[in-house]
Each structure stands twice: as structure tokens, then as C-alpha cells.
Amino acid sequence: MASSIPRWRLWLPVALYMAFIFGLSSISQTPDLPGGSDKGLHALLYAGLGVLLVRALAGGIGQPITLVMVLTATFVAGAYGVSDEFHQYFVPPRQVEALDVVADTIGAAAAAFALFGWSASRARKAAAGERL
């Protein structure tokens, strides 16, 4: 079943979320986190981006999700993570950290693969329902 959602309505949340991440990266003094590591926060933030990217690539929530969509969303989110670290280079006293990009990519991939599993499960249930 093809989605009737206009493309711009699928991609606008992605662009707004990316702008939100850009805004967070523009903050010079970030609060200290318990444990001192922000990697979990990076993963969580980019998981949200992964969900929005998969949604846009699939044509909406509830549409079938392919492995290519998952890999594309992961690549785009990872590339945006690289650009985010580049942006932070120009925001004193922020630092560029390769492990931040790793956390970003892992978060996006985890969310994208979770949606892929959910989509496959829905398809199996629908196919089983048709056979009854």
C-alpha cells in the first residue's frame, strides 16, 4: 500500500530534528552528565534521527521497511554525526570526538534495525492472518 503523505511532510521532521541537533551542538557549555560520558545521550539523540529517517524513506509509519532503507538511514545519520562533530570544532570549548560519531551511528542503526524488525513482524502477522 503506497503512502499518500506528501514528501515534504515526511522530510520536514527530519530537517527540524537535524536543526535541533545543530542547535544543541552550538551550546558552548554543556551540563556535566552523571558518569561523565555523553555517549548514551548521543546514541539516544541519534536513535530519534534514525526513526525519522526510516519513516521518511519508507513513506510513513506502517509502511514496509527494507534493509536498504535501514542502511541508508544509518549512513545518513552517521554522516550527519560527522558533520556535527565538524561543526563543534568551531564552537569553543567543544571538542571533536570520534567516539561521539560511533555512538551517533550505533544509536541510529539500533533504532532503524528495530523498526525493520517491527516491520517484518507485522508483515509475518499479516501473512499468517491471510492464510487463516
Q: State the average pLDDT over residues 97-103.
A: 97
CB 53 within 8 A of CB 14: yes
Q: Please give the mean pLDDT across all residues of the chain.
A: 93
Alpha-carbon distance 38 to 128, whole Å? Answer: 43
Greater pLDDT, 74 or 127: 74
Domain ranges of the chain: 7-26+36-131
Rounded to two decimals, what is the model's pTM?
A: 0.91
Q: Assign 125 to helix, strand or coil.
A: helix
Q: How far is CA 80 from the centre of its chain?
A: 10
Q: To the nearest 5 percent, what fractions of the chain are helix, strand and coil?
A: 75, 0, 25
Q: Which of 92, 49, 98, 40 is nearest to 72 (CA)?
A: 49
The confidence score (pLDDT) of residue 49 equals 98
Q: Which of 66, 47, 50 is nearest to 58 (CA)?
A: 66
